[in-house]
Amino acid sequence: MSMNNIEHAWVDTTVADLLDNFPEVKQVITSHGMYDYMDDHELKRIGKLLHKSVQMATYVSETNRAPLEKLGLTSSQMVHINNATKIDSIVPFDRQSLAISSTSFVICLVSRAIREKGWREAIDAVCLLRNRYSYEINLLLVGDGPVKDELIGRYKDLPFIHFL
C-alpha cells in the first residue's frame, strides 16, 4: 500500500495517475483541510482521478469529512485521526533554566527543522521586533532537522534564541 501523507491535492492526483497501470497498489490520502477550500466541481473532478487508487483517507477534523465524501469516498473508507496529543498534566515552563526573565515575551515554534517550516523567518521576525521596538522577546525553537545546525552556527551568540 502506498502512503501519501503530503497535504496537497496535486500530489494525491499525481500519485493516482502514476498508479493507473498498477491496480493492485492502493493509496491512502490524508486531509488536513486543503480539500475544504475546493468547490464541488473541483472535488468531483479530483474524485474521478482518485477513485481507482484511493482505498482509504484519514482526516483530522470533522469539517474535513464532507469534502472527502464529495470526492466519492464512503464512510468505511474514512478514518478520523486526532490532530493533537492528549495532555495528562501541564508542567510550568521554568524560564530561569534558559535565563529568560519573568517579563520577557516567549515565542515557541515546534516543528521539524527544515527550510519550509520557517525557523529562519521566525528568528528574523524576533530580531526585527527586538531591534525596532526594544521588546524583550525570546524564541524557543523545538525540533531537529537539517537546518538546525546551520542556524545554531549562525545565531549561537544571540542569548534570546534557544534551540531545544
Q: What is the mean pLDDT of the chain?
A: 89
pLDDT, position 33: 80
Distance in angstroms (rounded) separating the CA atoms of residues 54 and 71: 10
Cell of 7: 497535504
Give the amino acid at 27: Q
Q: Which of 114, 97, 103, 108 is CA-nearest to residue 141? A: 108
With 70 as the cut, is the pLDDT of residue 7 above it? no
Give the whole-number percent of the chain exceeding pLDDT 70: 96
Distance in angstroms (rounded) separating the CA atoms of residues 50 and 56: 11
pLDDT, position 93: 81
Average pLDDT over residues 4-13: 66
With 70 as the cut, is the pLDDT of residue 2 above it? no
Q: Is 12 exposed, middle or buried (0-12, 13-18, 19+ CB in 10 A)?
A: buried
With 80 as the cut, is the pLDDT of residue 136 above it? yes
Distance in angstroms (rounded) separating the CA atoms of residues 161 and 164: 10
Distance in angstroms (rounded) separating the CA atoms of residues 152 and 102: 25
Give the whole-number percent of the chain exceeding pLDDT 90: 64
pLDDT, position 104: 94
Give the position of cell 534558559.
Answer: 98
Tens digit of each residue's pLDDT (9 = 90 or more) over 78-102: 999 887 777 788 888 889 999 999 9
pLDDT, position 110: 93
Concatenate the DSSP letters of all residues of 144-157 into one string: -SHHHHHHHHHHTT
